[in-house]
A and B are shown apart, each in its own frame.
Chain A
Amino acid sequence: MASQTKTKILARHAANAALNIPLPGISMRGAHDLGADEPFYPLDEQIIAGAVEALESGQTHYVDVPGIAPLREAIAKHLNAACGTSWQSANILVTAGMQEARFLTIQIIGAQYDQIGVPTVAHPGVQKALGVRRRQVVSLSVETEQGCLPSLDEIAATLKKGCRLFYLESPSRLSGAAYTQNQVARIADMLAQHDAAAIWDQGLARWVDEGCSSLAALAEGSTAAIGEAWHGIGLGSWLVGSIAAPTDWIAPMQSQKQIMAICTSTASQYAALAASEIFGETHQQRLGQMRGQRAAALAMASELGLDLVPGAANNLLALHADASARGRLAEAGIDFAAGEDFGACDIVRLNIGAATVTAIEALG
């Protein structure tokens, strides 16, 4: 006889549509995979050496829940230099990748607030994290011509309605659009006026020419800044992310991390630590290369009259693409990230890489 208990469990999950949303791949699976969250680069030997040395010296045991001390210090130092914050190691929680950072911030900081304001267009991992234990979500509408970011007016209106916690991406994980420094300053002012707070996904910020405009630099006491460590260095599938936040937020997230994972893989952490030493120089080289490839792709898209979504991050571009255009991408063997998974139906996201121009040609 079929189990009624199991039937009920399955029905409960089936009713939770957020859990069914697919996630993009974590890292590119080859040159024609333009849909993953991170570009793939072969690992620098120094990074491998860092991980190997740790393993061979017996670093195969549990480590501190919030992460190994030197990595937390390196992340704090990096964020402070890049974004103008003043985080200490105690403000850093190392996570098993970006999705765990989303989950911990949304669920644990979110539990301290009645509502959370979330843009209608965001990384699908946001809706998935919200779906595990439903929070009261206030949807922030976005404007495609602003790169699918919520406008400042929309944030102000949502504050007026009583929402005091926001999840914001800058750059957008779909379009790469980022708030300017002035806009970030205005957001910080608005949040301060209402004693409100934000979870700020700045994982793609280093791909923006203008650099990292972090809300945390202006509102360190009420911002949790999340991102990969280190996006684009080649550690995507090793899954290392971080949360930088006030210590009174770190404490409950650390407790939750203990409950759900104990700690992050030691090999991954030591690799990330080694990567921290070369990230600056390596990233600059890759940023320069990406900038050139993106400019070429944008120029071709413009020539072909394609409908681009404004963006600022050099590692990706987004554009409108109907079913027929998507079919042509598929025929060309190009994988892309589908906008509907992010909440934007007619948009596709393409990573910048050797095959991006091929993709643009196919779309034209």
Chain B
Amino acid sequence: MSKKKQAAGTNLLYQLIAEARTYDDVIVMGRGDPDFDTPAHIVEAAKHAMIHHQDDVAPPAGLPALREAIAARVKRVNNIDIDPASEVVVTNGGQEALFLMVLAALGEGDELIVPEPNYNTYADSLAFAGGVKVAVQTAHEADFRADPAVVRAAITEKTRALLLVSPNNPAANVISPADMRALVDIAIQHDLMILADDIYDLFVYDDFVHTSPASLPGGKERSLTLNALSKAYSMTGWRLGWVVGPADLMARVAELKAAISGGTSIISQHAGIAALTGPQDAVDMMAAAYARRRRLVLDALDEMGMQYGVPQGGQFVFANIAFTGMDSAEVAQRILSEQHVLAYPGSAFSKERKDYLRMTFLQPEEQLIEGLRRMKLAMASL
């Protein structure tokens, strides 16, 4: 037989999102899509580009001016020195950056160490590449800290890379500078690549500090680092992100980018230049709003008696619902059906996290308060 049977592929989140759309009064605390619209000056720059840059054609790696803006940004925010001509590839959002990073670094049978819970697309991308995920479990009681000693113990002769997402999605922990130093040292000692996801680097709370592994001695030459404008500038629909890394690897990333999608929308790229080089007050405003909302959510969870890892950064909280005795998919379904609140089940992120829910604080405060009120009702009824 030449023809194979089609592999089944269902996505739990699709079902929940589809149902959520049927409720007029739904409060979405699931998807990582900021409620703020894209700042006006960025939209204006896009409009200007539509009229004045219609005939711009970018190479697959992106417009030179955007790559320069990205290089300046990663120097300013992440303390990574890169050459904009050879060490940046512009992508269709952070998601494509993630896919490219995994495909570039990992091949058939290669192992990637993944502190869990983590963003499920890493596992999907790794599966596409034929790689193997080696999960390192963390606990909410320790605010989901990935202990470097546990990471080291997970290394085998097939290990090729470490995944370091900080702040993490969905766990919202931030890797401390000391831990990051230790993890980079482990990568150096065991000759591993580092896949770094800095997409939430501008949203860090309290006294926590974001550190990019590529900013540390010995880190840059073995790190691919992704970021995107989606979260920081509320530009999820524009699909604009990037990967930075050493030139030899980035040449491979650029080839893969050309093979997968050929390029990135010229309008989004011009909008990206405006975002990175224009006023940053909107980012500060959003960060302040998320900090306030985070407090609201944590207070509500405390009232409900729910346990969680304190979100040190990011835009989520990953809360434990083991006390319900129910699977998170069932709990998420009940909350949605009964109270019209969409939260994501932990099982969507990891099969070991069936007793967690991910809730975002990406809604206006009045909606968030109402969503939390309804969630209390739902949890009380379980």
* A interface, CB within 8 angstroms of B: 3-6, 9-10, 12-13, 18-20, 23, 25-30, 36, 40, 42-43, 48, 51-52, 55-56, 58-63, 96-100, 103, 111-115, 125, 128-129, 131-133, 162-164, 195, 234, 236-239, 248, 251-252, 255-256, 258-268, 271
When the two chains form their complex, are residues A262 and B239 in contact, meaning their CB atoms are under 8 A apart? yes
Q: Which residues of B contact A30 (CB under 8 A)?
A: 55
Q: Which residues of B contact A237 (CB under 8 A)?
A: 54-58, 263, 265-266
Complex partner residue of B237 from A27, A28, A63, A271, CB under 8 angstroms: A63
- B376 an interface residue at 8 Å Cβ cutoff? no
Known contacts A27-B57, A40-B55; decide if A97 and B261 are in contact (CB<8 Å).
Answer: yes
Nearest neighbor of B255 in chain A, beta-carbon distance = A19
Q: Which residues of A contact B280 (CB under 8 A)?
A: none
Known contacts A26-B57, A36-B57; decide if A238 and B267 are in contact (CB<8 Å).
Answer: yes
Interface residues of B in 25-72 (CB under 8 A from A): 31, 33, 37-38, 43, 46-47, 50-51, 54-58, 60
**Cα distance A63–B105 when bound, in Å?**
30
A sample of 7 more A-B contacts (CB under 8 A), given A42-B54, A132-B256, A268-B267, is A3-B222, A6-B222, A62-B236, A99-B262, A261-B96, A265-B238, A267-B271
When the two chains form their complex, are residues B46 and A267 in contact, meaning their CB atoms are under 8 A apart? yes
Q: Which residues of A contact B79 (CB under 8 A)?
A: none
Interface residues of B in 245-290 (CB under 8 A from A): 246, 248-249, 252, 255-256, 258-268, 271
Known contacts A3-B222, A60-B37, A261-B93; decide if A267 and B3 are in contact (CB<8 Å).
Answer: no
Nearest neighbor of B34 in chain A, beta-carbon distance = A61
A-B contact count (CB 8 A): 220
Complex partner residue of B2 from A36, A52, A115, A133, CB under 8 angstroms: A115
Chain B residues bordering chain A, tally (CB within 8 A): 69
Q: Which residues of B contact A261 (CB under 8 A)?
A: 92-93, 95-96, 99, 239, 261
- B83 an interface residue at 8 Å Cβ cutoff? no
Can you give 15 contacting A-B residue pairs, CB < 8 Å?
Answer: A6-B193, A6-B221, A13-B104, A25-B57, A96-B239, A100-B260, A112-B6, A128-B258, A236-B57, A237-B55, A237-B56, A255-B9, A260-B99, A267-B46, A271-B50
Q: Which residues of B contact A255 (CB under 8 A)?
A: 9, 11
Complex partner residue of A23 from B46, B60, B264, CB under 8 angstroms: B60
When the two chains form their complex, are residues A259 and B124 in contact, meaning their CB atoms are under 8 A apart? yes
Q: Which residues of B contact A26 (CB under 8 A)?
A: 57, 262-263
Known contacts A3-B221, A103-B260, A252-B9; decide if A114 and B37 are in contact (CB<8 Å).
Answer: no
When the two chains form their complex, are residues B125 and A260 in contact, meaning their CB atoms are under 8 A apart? yes
Known contacts A99-B261, A113-B4; decide if A4 and B191 are in contact (CB<8 Å).
Answer: yes
**Cα distance A59–B104 when bound, in Å?**
32
Known contacts A9-B105, A60-B38; decide if A267 and B267 are in contact (CB<8 Å).
Answer: yes
Q: Which residues of B contact A20 (CB under 8 A)?
A: 255
Nearest neighbor of A267 in chain B, beta-carbon distance = B267
Q: Which residues of B contact A43 (CB under 8 A)?
A: 50, 54
- B23 an interface residue at 8 Å Cβ cutoff? no
When the two chains form their complex, are residues A248 and B93 in contact, meaning their CB atoms are under 8 A apart? no
Q: Which residues of B contact A63 (CB under 8 A)?
A: 237
Q: Which residues of A contact B84 (CB under 8 A)?
A: none
A195 to chain B, nearest CB (A): 7
When the two chains form their complex, are residues B128 and A133 in contact, meaning their CB atoms are under 8 A apart? yes
- B107 an interface residue at 8 Å Cβ cutoff? yes
By Cβ-Cβ distance, the 9 closest A-B pairs, closest first, are A99-B262, A266-B237, A128-B259, A237-B266, A60-B38, A19-B255, A260-B99, A100-B261, A13-B252
**Cα distance A252–B33 when bound, in Å?**
24
Q: Which residues of B contact A162 (CB under 8 A)?
A: 2
Nearest neighbor of A18 in chain B, beta-carbon distance = B259
Complex partner residue of B11 from A3, A236, A239, A258, CB under 8 angstroms: A258
**Cα distance A239–B240 when bound, in Å?**
13
- B160 an interface residue at 8 Å Cβ cutoff? yes
Complex partner residue of B248 from A6, A96, A97, A98, CB under 8 angstroms: A6
Complex partner residue of B4 from A28, A61, A112, A195, CB under 8 angstroms: A112
B99 to chain A, nearest CB (A): 4
**Cα distance A55–B38 when bound, in Å?**
9
Nearest neighbor of B54 in chain A, beta-carbon distance = A43
